[in-house]
Amino acid sequence: MELIDLKNEVRLDKLESVANCIRNGGLVVFPTETVYGIGANALDKEAVANIFKAKGRPSDNPLIVHISNMEMLNGLVSSVNSVEQALINTFWPGPLTVIFPKKDVLPDNVTCGLDTVGIRMPQNNIALKLIELSKTPIAAPSANISGRPSGTDISDIYLELKEKVDYMIDGSTSDIGVESTVVKVVDGEVLILRPGKISPEDIESLGLKVKLDKHLFESISNNEKVESPGMKHRHYAPTTKTVLVDCSDSHKVKEKILELLEENVDKNLAVISYDENEKLYKDMDVKFLSLGNLNDLNSVSKNVFTTLRKVDNLDVDLCIIQGVEKRGIGIAIMNRLVRACEHNVINL
């Protein structure tokens, strides 16, 4: 594996070697504006199979295909309706994945046998240039072993993936920090299958009708039918027992944590909260981590996965996370936190 540092400069000569590797069926960890991806030539069935192997990904969880121009889209999908076109015009390149009916050129394992495919045009320069130089669409799930938090910084995923890929490109910490919004247009309405930086409000501002999938905050039983297979799988959860307190009143949350401390006198606790609350926990016997500034949810989304990766190193018995308001990118943050806590949620 070769690690390529493009943090300060996008070196085309280096990217050309990586693109060559993609064309020859290799696997590459590369940055996008949302999270890092682990990519392969989307038209090469064997290379795609290797992504599933490298991640230990369940074989029923389809991959997102990344493109760098509209010609690539037309080669992959059998139709684009007017609502999908409006979404593309506004949000591409950017953190929005749209589910389309697929063409047969795509190997079955990209979509896990579904007749639809999720496509996005990323906004990150390295990602766009890599796709362009590879001259092929790149299938890429988030760069992490399945079930682990998604990678938003090379240092978080280096050990986890270094033996499994041919190249890792370091392009600095991901700008957004949570994965793309995944949508499917159903009967002219935009159904959000996974919330992200592009919020329901952003989509509604185009005059479109938006619905949140009913499973975004609920646990799903094994035999339940879901619109997006990824919803069913265990994701982001630390091994440490973790509880989400769904309340943005920091003083109420502190009261609850005092209660939990009393109930768990023999246990070590950690609190994940926000910069402005650090002082609330200063004199308490808890370990404290901050997700950023509660008044700046874009800073919080950047820190979500890196912080979840730290939980198991704190050596505590219970970790309590304070939630954010489910508004704008807060919906995406809460979706990831609810899943990290395996639906262990206290509503105050």
Amino acid type, 238 = P
The residue nearest ligand TXA at its CB is: 230
- Per the structure block, which two tokens stand in for 112? 């896990």
- Shortest-Cβ-distance residue relative to Mg ion: 142
- Which residue lies nearer to ligand TXA by CB, 22 or 63? 63
Cβ atoms of 101 and 116 closer than 8 Å: yes
- Binding mask of the shown chain, residues 182 to 221, with x at each position contacting ligand TXA by CB under 6 A: x----------xx---------------------------
Q: Of the listed pieces 58-66, 67-75, 134-142, 309-317, which binds Mg ion according to CB under 5 A?
A: 134-142
Which of 50, 142 has the CB closer to Mg ion? 142
Instruction: Tell the burial category of 53 from Cβ atoms under 10 Å away from its Cβ (0-12, 13-18, 19+).
Output: exposed
Please choose, from the candidates 178, 130, 138, the residue with its C-alpha nearest in 3D space to the C-alpha of residue 4.
130
DSSP state of 102: B
Strand 318-322, strand 269-273: pairing: parallel
Place of tokens 């992200």: 196
Q: Which of 54, 117, 131, 341 binds ligand TXA (CB under 6 A)?
A: 117
C-beta of 331: minimal distance to ligand TXA in Å? 15
- Residue choice 41, 50, 109, 180 for contact with ligand TXA (CB under 6 A): 180
Contact partner at residue 194 from ligand TXA, Mg ion, none, CB < 5 to 8 Å by partner kind: ligand TXA
Under the binding rule (CB under 5 A), the answer on residue 34 touching Mg ion is: no
Question: Rounded CA gap, 18 and 10, in Å?
Answer: 12
> Is 175 among the residues that bind ligand TXA (CB under 6 A)?
no
Q: Considering only residues 4, 18, 63, 191, which one is a binding residue for ligand TXA as defined by CB under 6 A?
A: 63
Degrees, nearest 5: CA angle 74-110-147? 130
Q: Which helix (H) or strand (E) holds 345?
A: strand 345-347
Element (H, E) at 131: helix 125-134
**Cβ of residue 96: shortest distance to ligand TXA, in angstroms?**
9
278: three-class secondary structure by DSSP: helix
Which residues, listed in sequence order, are joined to residue 37 by a DSSP beta bridge?
30, 142
Site string for Mg ion, 141-170 (x = CB under 5 A): -x----------------------------
Q: Which of 195, 163, 151 is nearest to 31 (CA)?
A: 151
Nearer to ligand TXA, 194 or 326 (CB): 194
- For Mg ion, the binding residues (CB under 5 A) are 142
- For ligand TXA, the binding residues (CB under 6 A) are 32, 34-35, 37, 61-64, 97, 99, 111, 114, 116-118, 140-142, 179-180, 182, 193-194, 228-230
